[in-house]
Amino acid sequence: MDEHLDEMVKLLFDISSNDRLTLLFAIRREENLRLTKLAEKLKATIQETSRHLGRLTEAKLIEKNPDGSYTLTSYGRLVLLLLSSYDCLSKSRDYFLSHDISFLPQEFID
């Protein structure tokens, strides 16, 4: 498999968890949250939350600050920004399945 494709598959896996997405959005809304507070927001154990935070940190989507809090990286901010496009697509899936998109400019499709 292509190296770039491998990276994309890894990113999609890293963000495919409801828990990890919840953590990313919580950190975006309220930066400098610590593990305990994030576990409360997730309604999960400290251990489970720590495992998710570790995966997000390894993926370079978040970083742990010296005080133990977490913030989004610039890369993480961009990933969340682009996810909003997928949110719109998924909400409008039935519309796109039942309508012709050939009239759309090519740059919107490629």
Specify the pLDDT at position 95: 84
At 104, list the tokens: 């759309």
Q: Work out the pLDDT band at 9, boundaries 50, 70, 90.
A: very high
Identify the CATH number of the domain in which residue 23 sits. 1.10.10.10
Quote the number of domains for the chain.
1
The fraction of the chain above a pLDDT of 90, given in percent, is 68
Domain of 57 in residue numbering reads as 3-109
Q: Closest Cα partner for 56 from 86, 79, 89?
A: 79
> What is the model's pLDDT at position 87?
77
Has this prediction a pTM greater than 0.75? Answer: yes
pLDDT single digits (tens) 20-66: 999 999 999 997 899 999 999 999 999 999 999 999 999 999 999 99
| Alpha helices (H) along the chain | 3-14, 18-29, 35-42, 46-58, 74-91, 93-97, 106-109
